[in-house]
Structure 1
Amino acid sequence: MSVQSSAHPAPRPDWLWHAGLIAFVLAWWVIYHRLIAFSEFVTGLFPADRHSHTGEAIAFFFYDVPKVMMLLTLIVFAMGVVRSFFSPERTRALLSGKREGVGNVLSAGLGILTPFCSCSAVPLFIGFVSAGVPLGVTFSFLIAAPMVNEVALVLLFGLVGWQVALTYLAFGLGIAIVAGFIIGKLRLEGWLQDWVRDIHSGANAPVMAEGERLTMIDRYRLGLEAVREIFAKVWLWIILGIGMGALIHGYVPEDLMVRIMGADAWWSVPAAVVLGIPMYTNAAGVIPIVEALLGKGAALGTVLAFMMSVIALSLPEMIILRQVLTLRLIAVFVGVVGSGILAVGFLLNMIF
């Protein structure tokens, strides 16, 4: 009995998990509201005047790094629990067989629930295409998953306000739905790689989702695992992105940023899109840069166009997509999505 007991320790009681979650949320709330004081304290430890360029950059960095990390932890955990109700098989079953238009809206909405960077969303995209989900519907998911996920929205809300977050949500979903619909109407299934095109649509036979039998404690564990996995992928990009944002915030002259991304320069939006495509980061990494650019007076439409191109049209994503798409179809994807991003950038610069 003693050997069996040591090999299989008694599980923690359910109430302890619930109490621990409540304690974590309360501690998170208290710490989050003390981040400004923490940033000022750390900045004061450096031999730089607080109101100098260096002081501003240091304060920006030590405020935004813990802020982004804390927001990411809370949201990814919550969405890890939510996603435990949606297995890949169930998601495929929801998307396959839906009419164009309805399927595009549904897949774009599902993309919001997946806090993936563009490269992380590609494997699921490949699974959808291989399983016979309509091509345009899968593209709506591929666009929305990295560009309009809950991480991007929460970080935008926390760093630059709810108005910008809602604007980004509306136009990002619009691009995902419309671009996917257009690609579906073009009937480009023949431009898939041969091995994908030859797979029969019956490959997506419904599978009973294990998540239907999960307990709430199991879902907590999945949320913790999601935090671990996502952090392993993005923590470096967060620090690099915030570091770049801190340099922009502290050192880049305002007149230079207005000249590059100002609303009066007609070429600023296409220049921002072209500049963003070769870069590779995710919402957590690029939003601090967005915050710094907006703080310097850059135009909202130009900055959001830059953010969209960085997240939705990254070069590494295109390399991975080459496994399932021909170069012609990749070019169509970039052209349609890029055109939508340009339209959003110009429109927002006209409105704001």
Structure 2
Amino acid sequence: MVDIFYPLQWIADKLTYEVFGIMPATHLAASVNFIIYDVLKIFVLLSVMIFAVSYIRTYITPEKTRKVLGGKTGLHYHLIASLIGAVSPFCSCSSVPLFIGFVEAGIPLGVTFSFLITSPLVNEAAVAVLWATIGLKATVIYVVSGIVLGVLGGYVIGVLKLERYVEDFVYKIKVGKQTNEQESLTIKERTDLAIESVKDIMGRVWIYVIIGVTIGGIFHGYAPEGILEKYAGKDNLLAVPIAVLIGIPLYSNVMGMIPIVESLIGKGLPIGTSLAFLMSVTAVSLPEMIILKKVLKKELIAIFVLIVTLSIIFTGYLFNILL
């Protein structure tokens, strides 16, 4: 099979051994080579993936989302919401206006949560970096799991009828009519928007990528082989829930966390345990819960965290069995 990233590995080798003059088969060489290669590979895949998804996103307007999901119930609408979440830009700071907009549009609470759960877990940037670091198979399983978590988590919240735990003022807000200017864009305009999206996202995440890869590279070069497998391997049944509980209070950009997770996997931490840790940092981070407290009562936040945490732990065990 042809390694499409071979040119990047050639550049990394050239810089490490010839330009920097670092002796091969040393801890320093392993770290530096890892850092150069991963940064190049992540930046390439990130740019391509952001462009592709951003172009597709120009066809998904807020008004279309309202028409498709507004007032609808049923498991397939949770799936649609999760799929929309997977191709939508999302961060903690946008969770409140997104939530209000969905509720105001008449989208059921459970369907709204399917979107909110999947959106931070699965996005073009995370997919690109995961693909670059842990491979296509594990990335596909991660994406499918993120969407399934969104569907099931939102469905359970919908079945429990928890609307009473949404702050009263949310139902009284009118966010205004959305326009459909995106529908009349030309191919060139859509391309220009996609390019701007690449510049914008890359401009915001490149430093996190470099920091994360550097930390991962140091661990990759200097940590003893198998040290994590010894203490947190598949035989340790508590490793997955412990990893999830450690991840929940953390606040970190997912772009910086993925290279670190890659390095943990390389040193023997099972993929399921590693990805469960990553998902907990991304999906149920403490900062996002604090922000959502503005529109949700503590009972709903507690139920949301419990459902997603248990789902992630189950997914971690499943990954460890499958991978």
Distance 1:193 1:285, change over 3 A: same
Note if contact 1:301-1:349 (Cα within 8 Å) is conserved in structure 2: yes
Give runs of aligned pairs for residues 156-175 of structure 1, distance below 5 A. 156-175=130-149
Which of residues 223, 236, 245 in structure 2 aligns to 1:265? 236
Distance 1:204 1:48, change over 3 A: same
C-alpha distance in structure 2 between counterparts of 1:228 and 1:319, whole Å: 30
Note if contact 1:114-1:145 (Cα within 8 Å) is conserved in structure 2: yes
One-letter amino acid of the counterpart of residue 68, structure 2: L
**What SS is found at the alignment partner of 1:254?**
coil
Which of residues 133, 142, 145 in structure 1 aligns to 2:107? 133
Displacement after TM superposition at 1:76 (Å): 1.0
1:243 pairs with 2:214:
yes
| 1:26 match | none
One-letter amino acid of the counterpart of residue 139, structure 2: A
Gaps of 5+ in 1: 1-30
Give runs of aligned pairs for residues 28-177 of structure 1, distance below 5 A. 33-44=6-17, 45-46=19-20, 48-120=22-94, 123-177=97-151
Note if contact 1:300-1:348 (Cα within 8 Å) is conserved in structure 2: yes
1:179 pairs with 2:149:
no
Write the deviation string for residues 35-63 of structure 1: whole angstroms up to 9, x where unpaired.
11111122123364332222111111111
C-alpha distance in structure 2 between counterparts of 1:130 and 1:57, whole Å: 51
C-alpha distance in structure 2 between counterparts of 1:90 and 1:204, whole Å: 16
One-letter amino acid of the counterpart of residue 267, structure 2: K
Give runs of aligned pairs for residues 270-285 of structure 1, distance below 5 A. 270-285=241-256
Note if contact 1:95-1:133 (Cα within 8 Å) is conserved in structure 2: yes
Displacement after TM superposition at 1:92 (Å): 2.4
Distance 1:294 1:178, change over 3 A: same
1:318 pairs with 2:297:
no
Which of residues 171, 183, 197 in structure 2 aligns to 1:226? 197
Which of residues 248, 270, 273 in structure 2 aligns to 1:299? 270
> TM-score, length-normalised on structure 1?
0.84
Note if contact 2:95-2:292 (Cα within 8 Å) is conserved in structure 1: no
| 1:25 match | none
Gaps of 5+ in 2: none
C-alpha distance in structure 2 between counterparts of 1:86 and 1:194, whole Å: 29
| 1:18 match | none
C-alpha distance in structure 1 between counterparts of 2:53 and 2:95, whole Å: 15
Which of residues 209, 233, 240 in structure 1 aligns to 2:180? 209
Displacement after TM superposition at 1:187 (Å): 1.2
C-alpha distance in structure 2 between counterparts of 1:170 and 1:260, whole Å: 29
Distance 1:206 1:93, change over 3 A: farther
Tell me the matched-pair count.
Answer: 320
One-letter amino acid of the counterpart of residue 249, structure 1: H
Displacement after TM superposition at 1:284 (Å): 2.7
Q: Percent identity?
A: 43
> TM-score, length-normalised on structure 2?
0.91
C-alpha distance in structure 1 between counterparts of 2:252 and 2:92, whole Å: 9
C-alpha distance in structure 2 between counterparts of 1:262 and 1:122, whole Å: 38
**What SS is found at the alignment partner of 2:226?**
helix
C-alpha distance in structure 2 between counterparts of 1:63 and 1:244, whole Å: 14
Displacement after TM superposition at 1:204 (Å): 7.5
Displacement after TM superposition at 1:144 (Å): 0.9
Note if contact 1:191-1:325 (Cα within 8 Å) is conserved in structure 2: yes
One-letter amino acid of the counterpart of residue 159, structure 1: T
